[in-house]
Chains A and B, each alone.
Chain A
Amino acid sequence: MTSPANVSPFLDPLEKLLSVHGTPAVVRAVEAGDDVGNARQAWIESGFADLLMPEASGGAGLSLRTADDLLRTCARHLLPWPLDATMVVRAVFAAIGMAVPDGFVAIAPQTSIDVDGRILCRGVPDGAAADWILAATPAGAMLVPVREHRSEAVFRGGAVATDVFWHAQPAGTTPVPREMDWMAIGACLMATRIAGAMERLLEMTLAHASTRSQFGKPLAAFQAIQQQLAVMAEQVAAARMAASIGMLADGIEADPLRAAIAKARTSEAVVAVTSIAHGVHGAIGIAAEFDLQLYTRRLHAWRLAYGTERRWHGVVGRALLAAEGPVLDAIVLRAAPPAA
């Protein structure tokens, strides 16, 4: 249990908004590109996107660390807009004294610009639901308006992660004059999403095991099922811890080593967690109208987004090999929270 002192005052209002405008129906509608009424506008006007901005700029001055719970909560509901990336980008803009963009911003994991000036952002989580894409290039980052783009789905239901493509740099593109490890921040945000979605997936799977009966007793009564659910809980606990390590920052800049650990460990957990969840659910978990698939498809997409475990294991491995001394000093204590 979180002690009351640690609970963010924003958690309650966030849960309330999620219960109205973050339902599975909204998630499905956004993914399908259908009308969601005033849900989108409600989120934009809610002020949650300003929480990481300094208080002087009208924000709440939260850090990645103090926004951790809130973002994980959004992920439990699979909030289908990139509120997390929007929060970070708005805070960056406020910090450098630029006018913050209206609407939602997604951070592109990968951007290429060809000789003719065509821009391609690959596998952008929530790319189709965003108003802007933050595209990091070797020449610096820029904010590109999504209208005018040609978007094609990478995964069925393009709202999960989308390739976003422009024939030329569109009007309204704004350079972002701030050095920032956008890959690391994207990795941390995605790790937090994975952790949050997994927590909910575990609850759903436990509930299913307790209500569904076969051979005259609940599935949960079978030792084989119990052992699998224990493994699932272990993986979820590890993912949650890893994600918190990633968000261990007093500002809005992710520490590259912690980000690597966060994204690698959460991504690796996706494999076992989704597989056990589906196994325990049986055939109903494959049905589109059942909510399980909303979670498992996203978890697989988020595992890929901003790099899978293999990519980030490479980052951690190179850091370890380049350092001197034992792993405790080179990695473990460097990733740990500073003594308090």
Chain B
Amino acid sequence: MIDALQLVAIPSDDAALRSEVRDFLRQHAAAWPLASRARSWMGFDAGFSQALGARGWLGLTLPVEYGGGGRGPFARFVLVEELLAAGAPVGAHWIADRQSGPLLLKYGTEAQKRFHLPRICRGESFFCIGMSEPQSGSDLASVRTRAERVEGGWRLSGQKLWTTNAPRSHYMIALVRTSGTQEDRHRGLSQVIVDLAAPGVTIRPIRDLAGDAHFSEVFFDDVLLGDDAIVGQEGDGWAQVTAELAYERSGPERIYSSLALFDAWIAHVRSRSVPDDASVVLAGRLATHLAVLRELCVAVTSKLAAGESPVVEAALVKDLGTELEQAMPVAIADVIGADEGPPAAAALLQALAYVTHVAPSFSLRGGTREILRGMIARGLGLR
């Protein structure tokens, strides 16, 4: 596991993308105040996503024949790193681009690929992740939502919870039971594509502690799905969802969630004639962690580029990354609160409060700290 995470250089062709992306972002950045940048990949702007699509920057790793960019994971890493560093509102396309698209490419039928992938790449189709349910959080294999075989398709009933962006998405890829019972655990689960406009789908947004409404509950009352709703093989849902989670966990958004706050704080410290020692050391500590985590993230990307599914390595980097993301607001608050100089700008304090409040979610979404550490322990041969 340690040997698998080696320092690698990003290939020059892919690194060259960085300046193009920067030029593009410069034209948009004025519209993103700190409050918006601090929301990182929770920010939602369908128009911006479509503008990225028009540049060919959605579905960058998908094949050209499906409307994708035909590039590799390193190119996507560079693009995504720049988007995150700029605090661009990428939430609309984020899930489709990161995991639904690659999942459909890997397991979907030709018809599914032809239908969905070009729409994803144009920024016309947004996806959400239907994994969690009221009684199934960490214990994902216990999902109760069921799809029953009916004439010509499937009948879906049950409920999903904490579904990010459901009200603003077109499709959900849901993990549901298609045979057996809860006792069968990993057997009998499948992934289905649900058209969220279908009759019987009810979506209720849930407001979060910061006042935003990004996640929601989604109810299925005998929703009829076509035969073509199944992704991959019926009954293979567990293996597929595991592969999907490797995409979900392996990106740089697991280290950069608090970056806008960090950069804003650095600008604040720079504005002082003489920075205090505590701020200097803290700036250095957080930057040091970030530099190392970023190379760990590149190392995971190189595994994706080699065609591997770096499930354990991604868990390791995500756990370390979210720890830094959570340390940032706490430590920055400590030095700001101890500073007897002129107070920091209101926008910085607001961003600090926002990130402080949502930071606990960083180690919940995408799998909790304990679950990830359990996966690492399994990777170490302990279980």
Query: Taking beta carbons and an 8 Å cutoff, which residues of A are in contact with B?
Result: 1-2, 199, 202, 206, 209-210, 220-221, 223, 225-227, 229-231, 233-234, 236-238, 240-242, 244-245, 248, 260-261, 264-265, 268, 309-310, 312-321, 326-328, 330-332, 335-340
Residue of B nearest to A269 (CB): B292
User: Is B269 an interface residue when CB atoms closer than 8 A count as contact?
Assistant: yes
The reply to whether B288 and A241 contact each other, CB–CB distance below 8 Å, is no
Within 8 A of A (CB), among B11-55: 11-12, 14-16
With A2-B3, A237-B1, A339-B12: A220-B280 Cβ-Cβ less than 8 Å: no
The reply to whether A321 and B266 contact each other, CB–CB distance below 8 Å, is yes
Q: A332 contacts which of B14, B285, B287, B373 (Cβ < 8 Å)? A: B287
Most chain A C-beta atoms within 10 Å of own C-beta, residue among B259, B280, B299: B280
The reply to whether B291 and A261 contact each other, CB–CB distance below 8 Å, is yes
The reply to whether B2 and A210 contact each other, CB–CB distance below 8 Å, is no
The reply to whether A236 and B266 contact each other, CB–CB distance below 8 Å, is no
The reply to whether A264 and B285 contact each other, CB–CB distance below 8 Å, is yes
Q: Which residues in B have their C-beta under 8 angstroms from that of A220?
A: 382-383
The reply to whether A240 and B5 contact each other, CB–CB distance below 8 Å, is yes
A165–B151 CA distance with the chains assembled, in angstroms: 90
User: Is B81 an interface residue when CB atoms closer than 8 A count as contact?
Assistant: yes
User: Is B293 an interface residue when CB atoms closer than 8 A count as contact?
Assistant: yes
The reply to whether B12 and A340 contact each other, CB–CB distance below 8 Å, is yes
Q: Which residues in B have their C-beta under 8 angstroms from that of A339?
A: 9-12, 14-16
The reply to whether A241 and B269 contact each other, CB–CB distance below 8 Å, is no
The reply to whether B291 and A230 contact each other, CB–CB distance below 8 Å, is no
Complex A-B: 21 CB contacts under 8 Å: A202-B2, A229-B377, A230-B373, A234-B316, A234-B376, A240-B2, A241-B7, A241-B292, A241-B295, A244-B295, A261-B291, A265-B289, A309-B288, A314-B277, A317-B282, A318-B284, A321-B269, A321-B283, A327-B263, A336-B10, A340-B12
User: Is B199 an interface residue when CB atoms closer than 8 A count as contact?
Assistant: no
A-B contacts besides A265-B289, A318-B284, 20 pairs, CB < 8 Å: A2-B6, A209-B382, A229-B382, A231-B373, A233-B2, A233-B379, A237-B320, A238-B296, A248-B7, A261-B291, A312-B288, A313-B285, A315-B284, A317-B279, A317-B281, A317-B283, A320-B287, A321-B280, A335-B295, A338-B9
Output the least CB separation between A196 and chain B (Å).
11
Q: Which residues in A have their C-beta under 8 angstroms from that of B379?
A: 233
Residue of A nearest to B281 (CB): A313
Most chain A C-beta atoms within 10 Å of own C-beta, residue among B15, B262, B275, B382: B382
With A237-B316, A241-B296: A326-B373 Cβ-Cβ less than 8 Å: no
Q: Which residues in B have their C-beta under 8 angstroms from that of A310?
A: 281
How many A-B residue contacts, CB cutoff 8 Å? 181
Q: Which residues in A have their C-beta under 8 angstroms from that of B2?
A: 199, 202, 233, 236-237, 240
Query: Taking beta carbons and an 8 Å cutoff, which residues of B are in contact with A?
Result: 1-12, 14-16, 81, 85, 259, 262-263, 266, 269-270, 275, 277, 279-296, 298-299, 316, 319-320, 370, 372-374, 376-377, 379-383
With A238-B293, A328-B81: A340-B285 Cβ-Cβ less than 8 Å: no
Q: B380 contacts which of A206, A265, A309, A317 (Cβ < 8 Å)? A: A206
The reply to whether B288 and A265 contact each other, CB–CB distance below 8 Å, is yes
The reply to whether A227 and B373 contact each other, CB–CB distance below 8 Å, is yes
The reply to whether B374 and A241 contact each other, CB–CB distance below 8 Å, is no
A264–B287 CA distance with the chains assembled, in angstroms: 11
With A326-B85, A327-B263: A314-B280 Cβ-Cβ less than 8 Å: yes
A221–B380 CA distance with the chains assembled, in angstroms: 12
Residue of A nearest to B320 (CB): A234
Output the least CB separation between A114 and chain B (Å).
29
The reply to whether A327 and B259 contact each other, CB–CB distance below 8 Å, is yes
Output the least CB separation between A23 and chain B (Å).
23
Output the least CB separation between A27 and chain B (Å).
22
Output the least CB separation between B77 and chain A (Å).
11
A318–B276 CA distance with the chains assembled, in angstroms: 11
A237–B379 CA distance with the chains assembled, in angstroms: 13
Residue of A nearest to B260 (CB): A326
Q: Which residues in B have their C-beta under 8 angstroms from that of A229?
A: 377, 380, 382
A332–B259 CA distance with the chains assembled, in angstroms: 12
Q: Which residues in A have their C-beta under 8 angstroms from that of B293?
A: 238
A218–B377 CA distance with the chains assembled, in angstroms: 14
Q: Which residues in A have their C-beta under 8 angstroms from that of B294?
A: 332, 336
Q: A244 contacts which of B6, B10, B263, B275 (Cβ < 8 Å)? A: B6
A199–B277 CA distance with the chains assembled, in angstroms: 33
Output the least CB separation between A333 and chain B (Å).
9
A65–B299 CA distance with the chains assembled, in angstroms: 17
Residue of A nearest to B5 (CB): A237
The reply to whether B320 and A238 contact each other, CB–CB distance below 8 Å, is yes
The reply to whether A226 and B377 contact each other, CB–CB distance below 8 Å, is yes
Residue of B nearest to A331 (CB): B287
Residue of B nearest to A335 (CB): B291
Q: Which residues in A have their C-beta under 8 angstroms from that of B10?
A: 336-337, 339-340
Residue of A nearest to B277 (CB): A314
Q: Which residues in A have their C-beta under 8 angstroms from that of B8?
A: 337
The reply to whether B316 and A328 contact each other, CB–CB distance below 8 Å, is no
The reply to whether A233 and B316 contact each other, CB–CB distance below 8 Å, is yes
Output the least CB separation between A218 and chain B (Å).
9
Most chain B C-beta atoms within 10 Å of own C-beta, residue among A210, A221, A225, A241: A241
With A316-B284, A316-B287: A326-B263 Cβ-Cβ less than 8 Å: yes
A309–B279 CA distance with the chains assembled, in angstroms: 15
The reply to whether B292 and A327 contact each other, CB–CB distance below 8 Å, is no
Output the least CB separation between A224 and chain B (Å).
11
